[in-house]
Amino acid sequence: MTDWNAMSDEDFRREVRQFFETDYPEELRHLPHRPTFAEIEHWHRKLHAKGWVAPAWPAEFGGMGLNAGKLLIFYEEQQHWGVVRGRDMGVQMVGPLIIKFGTQDQKDYWLPRILSCEDIWCQGYSEPGAGSDLANLRTRAEIDGDDFVINGQKIWTTMAHDATHIFMLVRTDPDTPRKQQGISFVLAPMDQPGVEVRTIRTLAGETEFCEVFFDDARTPRANLVGELNKGWTMAKALLSFERIFIGAPNLAQNALGQLESFARGRGAFDDPVFRDRFAQAALDVEDHAALYARFADQLKRGETLGADVSMLKIWVTECFQRITELMIEAAGPDGGTIGPLQVGNVSVDVLSSFYKARPTTIYGGSNEIQRNILSKAVLGLPG
């Protein structure tokens, strides 16, 4: 078994880069949409055969066992070469929680099935009426013999129509004094009576998001991960990991590169006002990359990230939005055109990019929530 952490950073980066550059299918690079499993199954099989499905998991569970520094290199190269985020919610989200909080039986059963994609997962966190405050969830799970009986609704459930299982937060004790109490983390199959999935068509015409309805759906009590009514602690652990992942600079860097190529082809740099606004956007992206590098260095030193990591998500998503607004301006009268616009050798779908940037300040904990975290936990302001 290869000890990737024993390699120098340069050698490891070279190995990862070569694999993504030569083996990743060209037609899947920088996909503008979240792919179904059928679209990327061949690539997933190749990753699985190489043992690279779960770079962050410990080697004893089938992962690469990368330390924080190597993991950042892996993700940087993955994003640089346009390797799409596949159906990775099992690997990125529920898998690490099972490793940390699950029983031995749960690890033995679920983890190999996540790696092989025998089970494909979606996340059941958001609910109607709860906004970004996850603790307001109302979906109930009541104990009935050896099962939980689930009733309620989840929304904005990414790719639920392509999933075989859902991991979710449910309220198992409605009478607790604090809304963060009485919540549990359960796993449930999707292919059963009482589970209905409806897709939500976005402005861009995609059906990435779904509503999921539970009407006396059932899941075995053995599918409870962690302690009953202690799910909120686990949810927070998951979100802190997601925050550094969402705050990576590539989102804004890639958009800025597209904007520059497109704007040069359209002659937008002849306008001094546009030049100034582009320069400001470029400086914002550079500032964010420097900030991200600071947090990345903390991880490499083995330090735990603090609440100030929320700055990353705020900064990169708002940069991304400003850049896509500049794309629309650079396109002029074609800014409302559906589909890609060709300028020389460059093809940019400016409207799709604009739409894609809108929800980024909302998902993963809205930027308003992130600012509240900063004001209370970093600045010490009263809540």
Q: Which residues are catalytic?
A: 242
Burial class of residue 355, CB neighbours in 10 A (0-12, 13-18, 19+): middle
Tokens of 1: 């078994």
- Dihedral Cα 365, 249, 242, 59, nearest 10 deg: 180
- Alpha-helix runs per DSSP H in the chain: 9-23, 37-50, 68-80, 89, 95-101, 104-116, 231-246, 250-266, 272-300, 310-331, 350-357, 367-373
CA–CA separation, 15 and 5 (whole Å) = 13
Phi then psi dihedrals of residue 154, to 5 deg: -110, 155
Tokens of 204: 């861009």
Phi then psi dihedrals of residue 65, to 5 deg: 70, 30
CA–CA separation, 322 and 1 (whole Å) = 46
Task: Match 């639920």 to its residue by tokens.
Answer: 160
- Nearest Cα residue to 81 out of 21, 162, 166, 165: 21
- DSSP letter for each residue of 286-314: HHHHHHHHHHHHHHHTTPPP-GGGHHHHH
CA–CA separation, 160 and 142 (whole Å) = 23
